[in-house]
Structure 1
Amino acid sequence: MLLYLLAVVGALTVAVLLWRAFGSQNATVPTRRGSVAPDDDPEFLRGLDERNKKAGDDPPA
């Protein structure tokens, strides 16, 4: 009984390793894009803050 259990675990391990090596290429982690959106760019946000302070305007709510 234990031999069958070890055989099943071994077969599953080999199957998973083969799937990872040669299987679906769609399962890869997508790469991050090079550009940063303006609302995530610290320099852009700092510039907006300085511009608003110079103008004396409150940003719209």
Structure 2
Amino acid sequence: MAFVVLLVVAVAVVVLVVRATAAAGGALRPPRPAQRPRPPRDSRPMAPDDDPEFLRELGRRVRRDDGSPA
């Protein structure tokens, strides 16, 4: 029986603490800091097949008779 009373008292204390915190305008967790803006991305190609220099080199390799790399 004492365990049940202790459990009820513990639940009541938790509920009262949560309500008091909410009434005071506080939050249970501190607010997250503002995120810094991301730097702008480079305008470079994202994949090799988007790179004009890579495509030129690939064209040179395809046109070669022996197929060896440049």
Task: Give me the TM-score of the superposition, normalised by structure 1.
Answer: 0.43
> TM-score, normalised to structure 2's length?
0.41
Bigger radius of gyration among the two = 2
Greater helix fraction, Structure 1 or Structure 2: 1
